[in-house]
Each structure stands twice: as C-alpha cells, then as structure tokens.
Structure 1
Amino acid sequence: MAPAYISRPAIALAPHKVLTEEIVNDIKAHHPTHPRIRTIPRHITRSAVGTRYFSHPLHSPYVGGAADPTIGITERTAQAYADAVDMAEAAARQLLDDQGVAPEEVDVLITSHSVSGGRLPGIDIPLADRLGLRPDVCRMPFSVVACAGGALAMARTADMLAARPDATVLSVVSEPLSTTYSHADHEISHMIFKGLFGDAAAAFLGTSTRPTTPSLRIDASFEYRLPTSAAAYFTRPDAAGVHFDSTAASLTAVKECLPKLTEWVRDWKTDIPIIHTGSPGIITATAHALGLDDQAARHSHNSLEQIGNVGGSAALDILARTHDAPPADGANVTVVAYGPGFYMAACRGVWCA
C-alpha cells in the first residue's frame, strides 16, 4: 500500500478577535435575570479559552447582537456558508503557495464543513471554482462530521492515496462556529459553547511521495461510533438560525470511547498526541489514555487557550503547532478527534523530519 504523507497545514483564522471577558460581559448583558448568572462566568473560564476569532464582531446580528427581524435562519446560514468558503479559500491558497503546488496539480479535493444548515452544494464546489482546480478533480465533501473533520480528512487522504498513489490530495476544513452563538439559548451548556467556539479554516496536502519538508506519515486509522449516542451533541435549526445542543449523554461520551482507543492503539507508544480541543478535560483524559500527561499534550491545550475550539480545524492547528516545535525523526504521532452525536476518528503515524 502506498504511504500517505501529510504536509504542514495552513491555518486561516477569522478576522475578529474576541476575549473571554467580552463573552462573559455579553452574556451578563443579555441574561441579567438568569438564575445562575453568578456562576456562568466560572463555567466559561473553566473552558480555558482566552481568545477566539469570529467571522463578525461579537455584537453583529450574525453573532450575539440585538435581534434583527430581517435576519433569520436563511440569512444567517447563508452568511455562515459564505464565511466558510472565504476562510477555506484563504487557507487553501496559503497552503498551495507554501507548498509550491499549482491548482491544476490537485487531483482530489476533500472538504469538511457543518454549520450552514445543510446548504447545497457544499463548500467544495465554490472552493474548486475559486482556486481554479481542474473540472475533473475528484471530490469528497463531508458535511456532518464537524469536530472530527480534520482527523477524518487525514484518514480519508490515506485511503485515497492507497487507491490512487500518484494523486495530490488537497484537504480543507472550514468551520464558522460563531453562527451557533445565540442569546435565545439559556442552558449552562449553551453558555459554555458561547465561550468555547471559534472560527477557522485549515488545509493540508497529502501525497504518497515523501516531501522534502517535514511531514506526518499516516500508517493506520480508526473510527468508532458510540452506540445510541445521536442525542449527545447535535444541531437544532429554527427560525433564528442553527443552534448547537447537547444532553447529559455528552458528559460521559469520551470516557466511553477511550477503552476502544486504547484497544486499537495496543502496544503503540505515542510520543506526540494531537487531541481535539473539546475541553481541557477531554484533552487530559485522552492524553492519559495514550499514556501521556498534559505536558505532552501542550500543543492541544495551547490551541484551545489561544483560538478556542475551532471544530474540525483544531487537529490541523495542533499539527501546525507541532511543526513549530518538531519532534525527532521517527517519533510516533497519534491523532484523536471527536464529533457528534458521538463519534471518534483517530490516526497514527510517524513524524518524518
């Protein structure tokens, strides 16, 4: 089987930096009589996010601004779709430039995007047009894997290269999660999500030929769907927009998946973990399952603190941070990400310096 080498990802952050203090003040202003208003700031700060980036200012009607009767789900999801395409293009263009690859050299386009209310076509069609990809490029668009998108894109890149070893695979993940920020949502979980999520896109190239620059070689992948977990995390559309919800089932979902992860890993010794930034607890629990501590998972914790949970782009941001402080050649790398209802996608491979 042909090897699969993953390039250094390019990251495109949304333009508007938002501090956690601003989120807390915004919630206080919009929910002054909430029965738990005194404890909400503590719940938000426990997420450990210091800053995140939104596609629009916090007080825009497309995020947390005053309700605008002219902006409902149609307008809000259309704007989220446009934001996703813009970020995806920025990340992909930067990547192609960094890697010295012309658009016409791309043979396969994998995309992941999940918060535009099921809009068709997916972001792959306008993205291919904007980048100038060939009309015969093979497309693999994901629209429901959300936070698992980056890890799954790595896995599918390896699958595609096994079938088409001469292909150049471009993968792009773009998630404007701030579109789910809504003051119509009152549960504590909603308040946490307001402080947790950020907007970003990320892109990488996959080839079966080892690049001259450092890369991650993917050797194996694993996926696990937690049975009867459809209500753990899910989106809920209504007239105002798309909302992100969870139930009590979400609180134990990671713990229930980790035995399957350790069973798959077996005697594989992970040196470098790339763990989805769902929360500090998720990062720590996953690191411990891999036999590692928080210091080993520092790039995941730093990503969460500095840009928030950016969905499927998170794993790729952490991979980019690993390039900034690269391990030794031959280090073992394990990638783990989680998506709704509850689903785990993982890859393992070797660092190629």
Structure 2
Amino acid sequence: MSLLGLATAVPPHILDQEVVLAEARARFEPIFPQFGQLAAVFRNAGIMRRHSACDLGWFRKPQDWASRTACYLDAGTELFRDAAAEALGRAGLRPEAIDTVVTVSSTGIATPSLEARAHRELGLRPDVRRVPVFGLGCAGGASGLSLAMRLAAADPGSNVLLVAVELCTLAFRADEISKSNIVATALFGDGAAAAVLRAGEGPALCILERSGEHLWPDTLDIMGWNIDPVGFSAIFSKSIPDLVAAKLRPAAEAFLAAGAMTLSDIDRHVFHPGGAKVVEALEGAFDLPPGSLRHERAVLRAYGNMSAPTVLFVLERALAEGRGGRGLLAALGPGFTASFLTFRTDVG
C-alpha cells in the first residue's frame, strides 16, 4: 500500500501552557481543594503550547452542546479542508481523483459528517464513497490508516483519502470538578492530519505493509467520554503509563509475529505521544534509549495531545528524515485498544 501524501493542519489560536495553567488555577483552585496537587501535570506533561479552535475568551464563557457543536462544525470543516488539500497537493492528485474518503473524529457530532460539509469547496466527486468513523479516540490515526489500507486494497488502483480531525479543547468543562478534567485541560489540543493511499508499490513516501489491533478485555472504563447535557467530559480511570509499560510490548510482539516479524526487524518507532510519562513508558517498554523518541516529544511540546491526528504528526516528521528501513507505528485509544501497522521507507 503506497502512502502518496501526508499533511497536517492546526487552528489559529495558540494556548501557551503557562497561560492555561494560570486560567485553570483561577477557575478551579477556589472550588477544588486538590487542584494544587494536580497542577504539576501542566508543567510535567512535556507541553509548551497547543492550538485551539477557540480563543481564551470563548472558554471563559458558559458553553453547552449547541455552542460546542457550532464551533466543531465550523472549525472542523475548515481543518478537514486544509489538511486534505495539502495532502492531495503533496500526492500530486486533484480532489476529483479521490474514490473513497475516510473521516476519523471523536470530539464532535456532525450529521452530515465533515467530509460532506467540505465536499463542494474541496472539489471531491459527486460519487465519492464516504466512510465517517466515530469513537476511536487517540487510536484513530493508526486505526484510520488501517481502515484506509483495507478499503484501498479492496479496490486496486483507487485513491483513498484519510482525514483525522479532532477538536479536543471543546471538551473543556469549567463545571466539572474531577482529576480527569484537570488532566484533559493540561493535555489536549486541536489539529488535523490527512493521508492519501493507493494499493500497489511505486514512488511513495512509504509503503504501508500490515495493520492490526489488540483489545484488552474489561477495560472499557480506562479512557473515553462521559456524555451529559453540557457536553463531553474525559475519562481517565487508570494510569495509562503503567498500562503501556506492562501491556503494550506483548501486544506489539503478537502483532509482529502474525506477520512473521519480531521487534528485531523494526528499525524505527512512531508512537502516539499521549503525554511525557507515556513517552517515557514507551521507551522503557521497547528498550529504547532514553530520549530516543524525539519526534514524539517535539510534537507533544508544540501541539499537545490532539488525539487521533497526533501519531500522523509524528509520522510526518519521521518520514521527513529520509531514513530507510522498516517502522512500527502504534497508538492507544478507548476500548482499551492498541492499533499497529508496519511501514517501509526503502522504496522509490
């Protein structure tokens, strides 16, 4: 499977992490006695700034489903269009060359979905096949690539456009007093990424080889959304770094073994950087030298955790290095699920 083009996009508003901490302190400290103990997450998350669809003034006002959805539809459609247009340009394709569009998003509800809203302005064909996907969360970039690969393989010669759009900051809840809400406030940013795929080898950014997933039983409560009349609110019920350290490597080894590979066949790693402690846990779990996941740290520092698109931001930087060899891409998300794929860059 050839990856022909890959691009990323972010909304215009920049949230400096120190400014966000000051805002959160003013909002939560008077009503949440434990805030002082949790405030360290803002400085320990490895994040300097994030991008947001809305400015700080928006977050200072009461918001509900209607206002959150209005922002999601406007900003999400714009991000979809910008990321998709750039990926198509890098692939050297016109929008009308796209046969199937896969849209991955878990931070808003849109019916018609985002690809339909961007359809006319982007210039997609009237008969383009649409596959909107909801609920993959932080695994969505990897799982979306996997789905796009299967759809392209089912129709050789067709072009598949994957777009992952997440506006995580819209889930900020000034009314919710919980550790999960504070952690989400410290971690989440907004962004989008798009990729263009076609079955068959040839000139490409890389060749996508195999994909797979691993779902752990009895883990529904680890990560996800609560939904109430005000909006989404984040669920983080267990230590995700501890889960990464204990469970991700065996799942990755099983995935590789199914393709007659081992970790010794992997020359580079591309991970979803959920936070600084998650990145450290990944290095430990895969016996990587401390500090070796520099692209993951760079993306986290500049953009925060954007959920689904984040791993594609990391992949974009990794491919820009121009190194050959085989890579393992992995991301974790609600389910609790790991999504994997392997790719090669020693191609034309």
Question: Which TM-score applies when normalising by structure 2?
Answer: 0.91
Q: Which residue of 2 aligns with 1:170?
A: 161
Q: Quickly say closer, same or farther: Cα 1:32–1:284, change in 2 above 3 A.
A: closer
Displacement of 1:211 in angstroms is 5.1
Distance in 1 (alpha carbons) for counterparts of 2:220 and 2:50: 28
Q: Which residue of 1 aligns with 2:57?
A: 59
Q: Which residue of 1 aligns with 2:18?
A: 21
- 1:161 counterpart (152, 162, 174): 152
Displacement of 1:191 in angstroms is 1.2
| 8 Å contact from structure 2 (residues 330, 339) kept in 1 | yes
Aligned partner letter, 1:51 = R
Aligned partner letter, 1:40 = L
SS in 2 for 1:273: strand
- The answer to whether structure 1 residue 279 and structure 2 residue 275 are counterparts is yes
Correspondence 1:7-46 to 2 at 5 A: 7-33=4-30, 34-46=32-44
- The answer to whether structure 1 residue 221 and structure 2 residue 211 are counterparts is yes
- The answer to whether structure 1 residue 125 and structure 2 residue 116 are counterparts is yes
- Which is worse superposed, 279-288 or 102-111? 279-288
Distance in 1 (alpha carbons) for counterparts of 2:23 and 2:335: 29
Q: Quickly say closer, same or farther: Cα 1:73–1:246, change in 2 above 3 A.
A: same
| 8 Å contact from structure 1 (residues 77, 242) kept in 2 | no
Q: Which residue of 1 aligns with 2:233?
A: 243
Distance in 1 (alpha carbons) for counterparts of 2:227 and 2:284: 36
Aligned partner letter, 1:86 = E
Q: Which residue of 2 aligns with 1:112?
A: 104
- The answer to whether structure 1 residue 146 and structure 2 residue 134 are counterparts is no
Q: Quickly say closer, same or farther: Cα 1:195–1:31, change in 2 above 3 A.
A: same
Distance in 1 (alpha carbons) for counterparts of 2:33 and 2:224: 25
* Unpaired segments ≥5 residues, structure 1: none
Distance in 2 (alpha carbons) for counterparts of 1:6 and 1:98: 11
| 8 Å contact from structure 1 (residues 196, 308) kept in 2 | yes
Distance in 1 (alpha carbons) for counterparts of 2:200 and 2:303: 32
- 1:212 counterpart (198, 203, 211): 203
* Unpaired segments ≥5 residues, structure 2: none
Displacement of 1:291 in angstroms is 3.7
| 8 Å contact from structure 1 (residues 338, 345) kept in 2 | yes
- The answer to whether structure 1 residue 345 and structure 2 residue 336 are counterparts is no
- Which is worse superposed, 146-155 or 289-298? 289-298
Cα-to-partner distance string for 1:164-205 (whole Å, 9 max, x where unaligned): 111111110100111011111222232121111110011011
Aligned partner letter, 2:52 = F
Aligned partner letter, 1:112 = V
Q: Which residue of 1 aligns with 2:174?
A: 183
Displacement of 1:251 in angstroms is 6.1
Distance in 2 (alpha carbons) for counterparts of 1:289 and 1:319: 20
| 8 Å contact from structure 1 (residues 253, 342) kept in 2 | no
Aligned partner letter, 1:89 = R
Q: Quickly say closer, same or farther: Cα 1:344–1:199, change in 2 above 3 A.
A: same
Q: Quickly say closer, same or farther: Cα 1:287–1:142, change in 2 above 3 A.
A: farther
Displacement of 1:98 in angstroms is 2.5
- Which is worse superposed, 33-42 or 267-276? 33-42
Cα-to-partner distance string for 1:20-69 (whole Å, 9 max, x where unaligned): 10111001111232212333331221111111100111231xxx2132xx
Q: Which residue of 1 aligns with 2:313?
A: 317
Q: Identical aligned pairs, as a percentage?
A: 23
Q: Which residue of 2 aligns with 1:83?
A: 75
SS in 1 for 2:327: strand
Displacement of 1:101 in angstroms is 0.8
- The answer to whether structure 1 residue 301 and structure 2 residue 297 are counterparts is yes
| 8 Å contact from structure 2 (residues 41, 186) kept in 1 | no
Distance in 2 (alpha carbons) for counterparts of 1:212 and 1:265: 25
Cα-to-partner distance string for 1:73-132 (whole Å, 9 max, x where unaligned): 12212321322111111111112223221111111111101111x432322222333322
Distance in 2 (alpha carbons) for counterparts of 1:283 and 1:251: 8
SS in 2 for 1:7: strand
Correspondence 1:248-267 to 2 at 5 A: 248=238, 250=240, 252-254=242-244, 255-266=246-257, 267=262
Aligned partner letter, 1:274 = V
- The answer to whether structure 1 residue 50 and structure 2 residue 55 are counterparts is no
Q: Quickly say closer, same or farther: Cα 1:352–1:78, change in 2 above 3 A.
A: farther
| 8 Å contact from structure 2 (residues 53, 71) kept in 1 | no
